Amino acid sequence: MHIGKKQYEQRLAQLTSNLQGHCLLLIPKENLRTSLPSSVTSIQEWPKVSAEKPFDAILSIGNLALSENINDYLLELQRYADKETLLYFCDRTTTPDGNNGSAKNDITGALWEAKWSVIHCERFTIGKTRRAPKYAYGIARIKRSSQENL
């Protein structure tokens, strides 16, 4: 699916509007293009994390895509999550067709390998050119066992 910059901004606003409770931002708060909803009770910014309890939500807007070692990064994030924590993401991603532009990581594949379950995902490009950046947009959580009613 191809979208324009306005639709991209709307998706980021929608992603941010889903946040609630105790949140970990992987992006500096001042770089958010929208304000946080009133359902957010507290925030911490990566990498200055001093969580005494798991976060309710984690937000990545481009941070997973920039990671030098995404698998280690995702495993590190699990230290601050529990089975109810939701990871909201909108990141550039590689694609099977090989036209990856500047993307370094397969976001959904890396989530799966690091034992996160993608519970919602959309893929899109901004623009219609062959080199248009490709994005993965969605929600993930730590994988649950079959006894936990996936």
Closest by Cα among 47, 59, 77 to 13: 59
Owning domain of residue 89 = 2-148
* pLDDT at position 129 over 70: yes
pLDDT tens track for 8-21: 999 999 999 999 99
The pTM of the full predicted model, rounded to 2 decimals, is 0.91
CATH code for the domain of 50: 3.40.50.150
* Nearest-angstrom CA–CA distance, 127 and 140: 26
Dihedral sign of CA atoms 129, 70, 139, 116 in order: positive
Distances (CA, A) of 32 to 13, 66, 67, 115, 117: 9, 17, 19, 27, 25
- Provide the residue type at 150 as one letter: L
Round to the nearest angstrom and report the end-to-end CA distance of the chain: 29
Please say whether the beta carbons of 105 and 93 come within 8 A.
yes
User: 133 Cβ partners below 8 Å, 6+ apart?
Assistant: 92, 101, 102, 103, 125, 126, 127
26-51 residue pLDDT tens: 999 999 989 999 999 999 999 999 87
Count of domains observed in the chain: 1
